[in-house]
């Protein structure tokens, strides 16, 4: 428990650190919302991977991973469309 309290005290210690952490949290929430909406719209599978990447490493891994997965999905859909 003392480690959590120290962590929260560091986050709330100054306006700058509070702003920086709020930026990180808001960016992650926006990304996860985008991943959820876009993956449902496209019918993508395995979207848990960008979620885990975002929650463990951050937006810097979750966003590129999702965009790569999205491009693979769209490419497969295009190939399937042209094959018929």
- How confident is the model over 10-44, as pLDDT tens digits? 888 889 989 999 999 999 999 999 999 999 999 99
Q: What is the pTM of this model?
A: 0.83
User: Would the pLDDT of 1 be above 70?
Assistant: no
- The whole-angstrom separation of Cα 8 and Cα 15 is 13
Where residue 56 falls among pLDDT bands split at 50, 70, 90? very high
Task: Give me the residue label for tokens 């926006």.
Answer: 30
Is the CB of residue 37 less than 8 Å from the CB of residue 44?
no
Radius of gyration of the chain (CA): 18
Phi, psi for 14 (deg, rounded to 5): -145, 165
Domain boundaries, the chain: 2-83
Average pLDDT, the chain: 93
Where residue 74 falls among pLDDT bands split at 50, 70, 90? very high
Is the CB of residue 17 less than 8 Å from the CB of residue 11?
yes
Which tokens is 55 given? Answer: 């929650």
């Amino acid at each position: 428990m003392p480690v959590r309290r120290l962590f929260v005290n560091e986050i709330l210690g100054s306006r700058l650190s509070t702003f920086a952490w709020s930026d990180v949290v808001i960016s992650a929430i926006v990304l996860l919302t985008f991943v959820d909406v876009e993956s449902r719209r496209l019918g993508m599978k395995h979207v848990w991977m960008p979620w885990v990447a975002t929650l463990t490493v951050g937006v810097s891994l979750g966003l590129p991973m999702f965009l790569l997965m999205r491009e693979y999905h769209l490419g497969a859909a295009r190939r399937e469309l042209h094959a018929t």
